[in-house]
Structure formats: structure tokens, C-alpha cells
Amino acid sequence: MRLTSEQVERTLNQFDAQALPEDHPAVPQLNELFGDHTFFLDSSGLNVVEPTDAASGADTGMVVNLADWSDETLTKLAVHPPQATEIVVALGPTH
């Protein structure tokens, strides 16, 4: 899911990562591979936020890992099937 700038800020306050800016050269290729998302890089690799069960009444998202770092310098990613993490972030209201 693509997040608003407010949702990105809320996510980064709860999840130690860096958001890839939409104008980053890798984003078009990532969108082709994974769909239209806001992408985050952290110490484990490439992640996105997917909405959680709306029945709970909370506007939250789960961090899903899409690729792990495959080198010690954190410059190459190894794609794998999406893996849900235990990290759930409060996204707040969407406008």
C-alpha cells in the first residue's frame, strides 16, 4: 500500500527504517515487482506496510519483509516470498 506522507512519518516513529523517496531510481522497478507501495529499508532488508484487519477498528498496518540483505555492506537484496513480521504500526486516520 502506498502511504501518505503523514503515515510514513508515523510509521518511521514506530519502526526503525528509512523510507525510499518516490523519486528514488529503484522505485519503478520495485513497483513492477511488488506493486504500488511505499518501500522501507531497515537492517534486515526491504519492507512494505500492508493494512491489518479493518474489523479491529484501528487504522494499523503490518510490516512485511520482501527481501533480505545478501551482503555485509547492505547494498544487495535477495528477494523472497513476502514474510509478515511481528511489527504492527498505527497509521492513524487516512484523509
Q: What is the pLDDT of residue 45?
A: 97
* pTM for the model: 0.90
pLDDT digits (tens, 9 = 90+) for 27-84: 999 999 999 999 999 999 999 999 987 655 568 999 999 999 999 999 999 999 999 9
From start to end of the chain, where are the E strands?
18-19, 40-42, 45-51, 60-69, 77-90
> Does residue 88 surpass a pLDDT of 80?
yes
The mean pLDDT value for 84-93 works out to 91
| Exposure of 14 in the CB half-sphere (CA atoms within 13 A) | 18
> Does residue 89 surpass a pLDDT of 80?
yes
Distance separating alpha carbons of residues 5 and 54, to the nearest angstrom: 21
Is residue 88 a contact partner of residue 53, using CB atoms and an 8 Å limit? no
